[in-house]
Chains A and B, each alone.
Chain A
């Protein structure tokens, strides 16, 4: 993966595309373009369009298959626009595309980014990519804490619930549960980063007396630690009242299920990476139409000023 600025020609094209976008009055966030090789591209898609992801066998499996398919010519590695919206937005270009397709991808991305910025569903998250990269680190740490076997099991369980995400449902978490804790407005990701763990009150402990009272048969220290940990986890559960059945199951689980920190990190990662797809699905036609419309406008302007050649080929394909 390299920045677009390493390629002079593409860099100039980018400047022209953004210039025309501005001229047409588009309000777009900062867009960072990167150039990827074809296998990097395939991998990026497997990672839900985030540059990193926690190690997991299912991604590995899909990539093994994909590599085989690409190598044996069953599948082409050509993808058009791949973008992770936000502020800044990250857009990825395929290094095997020609100049016209690169320009059209950039122009198309402009449309998507603006659409996402305007955000009809009001669930935009500006620094989504950065936050996911932070979560990946947490999940990788979780993997070391849990051990391979538990991690895989929990990952699978979490993955199987990812079909039950609906952050924009009328029965999403904010509208279906009531809680006495500070969790009031529905904010999927921001704000969770700086969630402060409540300090446990310091309880005076009289070591000698406690030992005498409880006797010596406490089991091994490991067992008692474990028991204590479970007890703490149970006590830390937030109380809630369910006003209506919650349709956003994964979000509910990650907020109210008794989990360890490691497990919570996995649930967070799964939710944060999958939840935005709901927006994409609900607004697909509007989104694509908007992007396509501005792509056409910008491309025509580019052809007019002869920034790119090949209008006939372009007209033939699109």
Chain B
């Protein structure tokens, strides 16, 4: 028995297949409730955490009745289900499922990325393609009569000319540059569920842009504002807070200035996303509309304004809607509860019906 290797590899394989088969059903859940922790593009796997799946459990007695205590059942550990899937595959699936078109890539894309793929086959090379070689060898063995099961001959002769090798082919992909500005209102109370909802959405936007442009090609910059606007680090974006007055237009102004002054507008793809409770003054909203119309809309690929848990005083989207209701560049979203994340993503990135 000592040569047995104890492992659960096969069971893990079956489990992973089971998850992959049902991944599409899980997608909504993953976006709404799960955590998408992305490590890096090259690691290529993302670990997804979502609510656990548990085996059906045996319950006896009336449900809710006093005596029928019913066992908790197998696998009843409460917690998270964790699994890995390739980042690329997951994002593609997500794009399909949510019907998100690929983002427009503008700019000259003069800088190229090179990679090699084995797509063609030749008679000389280093890496032998065993399948093709065997196929050809079998065909010619049948041809010359060396392989004929009816006569008991089962020789497959692999001749030199049957060999097929994988030949690397150089692939060029244009490289695009993109920059994404995240703007947050710190005058409203971002903590608890509100913060978590905002984080989830920011995280998704982060992943989606990285997927579309390639992780190294997107710059993510974070801004916060109350009555003034500042640039902050990505971790501080969720931390800083302030109670008091608010002026949102200054952050739009700052972002559009940075976009013009620091980047080559012709070759860069700009994205801007604003998160706040939408409680702004009337003149503030008006100047935001002006900035959007005059400065951002002509250069930005997409501007999203998301009201997180808006109140009855939320005024920003109402004002913007008047101007940009069917606009392709400027999009609005309202995130009242967690389960609306998918809907907001569709609003921000989906195809706009005319």
Contacts and interface: CB of A to CB of B under 8 A. Distances in A.
Interface of A: 1-3, 32, 34, 36, 39-40, 43-44, 46-47, 51-53, 55-65, 68, 90, 156-157, 159-164
A46 B58 contact: no
Nearest to A5: B2
Given A159-B55, A162-B74, A63 B2 contact: no
Contact of B73 (A1, A55, A163): A163
A157 B18 CA distance: 18
B56 A55 contact: no
A261 to B, nearest CB: 22
B11 interface: yes
Interface string B51-68: 001011110000000000
B16 interface: yes
B69 to A, nearest CB: 10
A200 B346 CA distance: 65
B120 interface: no
Where chain A touches its partner, the secondary structure class is helix
Given A58-B74, A58-B75, A64-B16, A160 B11 contact: no
Contacts, number: 93
Contacts of B10: 55, 60
B12 A157 contact: no
Given A39-B7, A47-B6, A59-B8, 20 more contacts: A1-B3, A1-B6, A32-B1, A34-B2, A51-B4, A53-B8, A53-B11, A55-B10, A55-B14, A56-B14, A57-B18, A58-B74, A60-B18, A156-B55, A157-B56, A159-B73, A159-B75, A160-B73, A160-B74, A164-B71
Contacts of A44: 6
B16 to A, nearest CB: 7
Nearest to A50: B6
A53 B4 CA distance: 12
Nearest to B76: A163
Contact of B4 (A52, A57, A162): A52
Interface of B: 1-8, 10-16, 18, 47, 53, 55-58, 71-75, 81-83
A57 B5 CA distance: 19
Given A64-B15, A160-B55, A161-B58, A51 B8 contact: no
Contacts of B5: 1, 40
A164 B4 contact: no
12 contacts: A1-B3, A32-B1, A52-B6, A53-B8, A55-B14, A59-B8, A60-B15, A61-B53, A64-B12, A160-B55, A163-B58, A164-B58
A36 B192 CA distance: 45
A96 to B, nearest CB: 15
A62 B79 CA distance: 12
A57 B11 contact: yes
Contacts of B18: 57, 60
B8 A58 contact: no
Contact of B8 (A2, A60, A68, A162): A60
A47 B58 contact: no
Nearest to B59: A160
Contact of A68 (B6, B47, B53): B47
A60 B12 contact: yes
Contacts of B71: 163-164
A1 B1 CA distance: 9
Which of A58, A61, A63 has its CB near the most chain B CB atoms (within 10 A)? A61
B12 to A, nearest CB: 4
A156 B53 CA distance: 12
The 7 A-B pairs with the shortest beta carbon distances in the complex, nearest first, are: A60-B15, A163-B71, A60-B11, A160-B58, A3-B2, A63-B8, A60-B12
Given A68-B47, A160-B56, A160-B74, A1 B4 contact: yes
Nearest to B1: A51
Contact of A60 (B16, B47, B58, B74): B16
Which of A36, A51, A156 has its CB near the most chain B CB atoms (within 10 A)? A156
Contacts of A157: 56
A163 B60 CA distance: 12
Contacts of B47: 68
Which of B4, B12, B73, B81 has its CB near the most chain A CB atoms (within 10 A)? B12
A1 B58 contact: no
Contacts of B53: 61
A58 to B, nearest CB: 5
Nearest to B58: A160
Contacts of A156: 55-56
A53 B12 CA distance: 12
Nearest to B5: A1
A267 to B, nearest CB: 14
A250 to B, nearest CB: 10
A2 B2 contact: yes
Nearest to B12: A60
Contacts of A2: 2
Which of A34, A59, A60, A62 has its CB near the most chain B CB atoms (within 10 A)? A60
Nearest to A133: B1
A171 to B, nearest CB: 15
A162 B75 CA distance: 11
A222 B282 CA distance: 76
A55 B8 CA distance: 8
B4 A61 contact: no
B82 A68 contact: yes
A159 B81 CA distance: 19
Given A58-B55, A59-B11, A159 B74 contact: yes
Contacts of B15: 57-61, 64
Contacts of A65: 82
A159 B56 CA distance: 9
A159 B72 CA distance: 12
Nearest to A143: B14
A237 to B, nearest CB: 22
